[in-house]
Chains A and B, each alone.
Chain A
Amino acid sequence: MQSETTTPQAVTVRTPQGEDGAQAPAVLLRDIRHDFGDLHVLAGLTLEVAAGETVALVGPSGCGKSTLLEIACGLQRPSSGTVAATPAALVPQRDALLPWADALDNAALPLRLQHVTRAEARRRAEPLLAELGLSGFERARPAQLSGGMRQRVAFARALLTGRDVLCLDEPFGALDAITRAEIHRWLAGALAVQPRTVLLVTHDIEEALVLADRVCVLSPRPARIVAELAVAGARPRDPADPALIALRRQALEALRAC
């Protein structure tokens, strides 16, 4: 089913099967290469994310992080390599909301796709928007929301898919520091109650260290993983923690070195 040798053909397996009762990784990317024509974007990248684990991807702009997430979500087939991943919910870098629908309808979209009636879908989405600090804006259209608010609506939409794997592409980049810290706290709490697997792309090393169990540092294009840092401690972590500051220095050095 999955070839162990390097094949020129990409193999995609949507649902990984646990073998011998062992817990299969929620996301398994093996030796992923990807080219857009002559542009070599991913140069043989291997990444394994265990169920319930949060892995952050940091790397220079344009190195292929969004491409990697799309491959993990099954939205792109890699030029070569193996993908075995549980179906994931994506928060795209641009929020990609329906411009004519209000915040509640946008967040409730995955429920509508599961044939829940509109009224019921809105009713179910409402508490989540409130928890994300959007009460009072349920009926606002995306154009009336700030960038940070739109990101939170897109995040709510991803959560409401009910998928166990979340692929987040710079989901909190437009938030102010205080709201971002609040969302970090909320997300850490939500993941503690209901564990999910998270692949988090971020430009913010601090955000990666506060939320992730593991931080992968990517090189410039064509991207490889140049460093992997394991982060210990309960989430959300205090960014002022000396251990985190040391890891941060390590990550920055890895980024600078490549």
Chain B
Amino acid sequence: MLSAVIVLALLGAWELYVQLGSVDELLLPAPSAIVTALVDERALLWSNFTVTATEVGLGILLALAVGLLLAVGLHLSKTAHRAIYPLLVASVALPIPVIAPLLVVWFGYDLGPKVVIVALVAFFPIVVVTLGALSSTDSELLRVLRSMDATRWQRLRFAELPAAVPAAVSGAKIAVAVAVMGAVFAEYAGSEAGLGHMILQSIPQLETARAWAAVVVLATFAISLVALLAIVERRLRATHSPTPRGLS
């Protein structure tokens, strides 16, 4: 409630600042101009949005699949953990704007390189959060399973994975912000469509309001995606957590 008031106040100040002519409309469009652009350019925004949303969606799915597998692999093998985990931590320092063009050169202009870049940046939080959930499994529970001659796979299946899968989704939720950023940089590096491409195109055409409209769509998308993943995570935990069901 209070934060809504603050946002409105900031928007009002921004509008006033531009309306009073303190700044060139081409450098900083007023919020009203951005809203107009949102309405007028909705077809263009929508078609570019679907491109970026596909890149981000597929990238996160790829990161989830590979991240979950890798986390399980690192959890099962101490050697793999020792060898690969430091590389993962180092991968956070990879400058996306720098490697994005190289990947585009390598993979081409279409969807592929974008998905790979999104997956690359989304990967780390997913692996870390999943690994944490896997290694915090109740050790007494694992010992009981071992006393019942459970195989390594069965211990994973019955005790470790049920906590790790919701954790992976929780990691993906954290990864959304960098994933969207990764998609935009990937489009900057070379693309024919997408909201990042649209921003890059609009600026030299002096369509600043349109660029800002694309930013608004991008932000709304990221927030909605976080909310969606939060719902998925809650669903997964509901079937794997101590909440009432069937009792009274």
Contacts and interface: CB of A to CB of B under 8 A. Distances in A.
B154 A113 contact: yes
Interface string A73-94: 1110000000000011110101
A211 interface: no
A157 B146 CA distance: 14
Contacts, number: 66
Interface stretch (A46-54, A136-144, A187-195): A136-144
Interface of A is mostly: loop
A158 to B, nearest CB: 9
B148 A141 contact: no
Contacts of B246: 102, 139-140
Contacts of A143: 242
A109 B158 contact: yes
Interface string B54-94: 00000000000000000000000000000000000000000
B7 interface: no
Contacts of A90: 143-144, 147
A75 B143 contact: yes
B140 interface: yes
A113 B157 CA distance: 10
A106 to B, nearest CB: 10
Contacts of A73: 147
A113 B247 contact: no
Given A99-B242, A139-B247, A89 B147 contact: yes
A219 to B, nearest CB: 26
Interface residues of A, number: 29
A89 B148 contact: yes
B162 interface: yes
Nearest to A100: B240
Contacts of A92: 140, 143-144
Contacts of A139: 245-247
Interface in B141-174: 141, 143-150, 154, 158-159, 162-163
Contacts of A161: 148
Interface in B116-144: 138, 140-141, 143-144
B36 interface: no
Contact of A140 (B158, B239, B241, B247): B247
Contact of B162 (A100, A109, A141, A157): A100
Interface of A: 70, 73-75, 87-90, 92, 94, 96-100, 102, 109-110, 112-113, 137, 139-144, 157, 161
In the A-B complex, the 3 residue pairs with the closest CB atoms = A143-B242, A139-B246, A100-B240
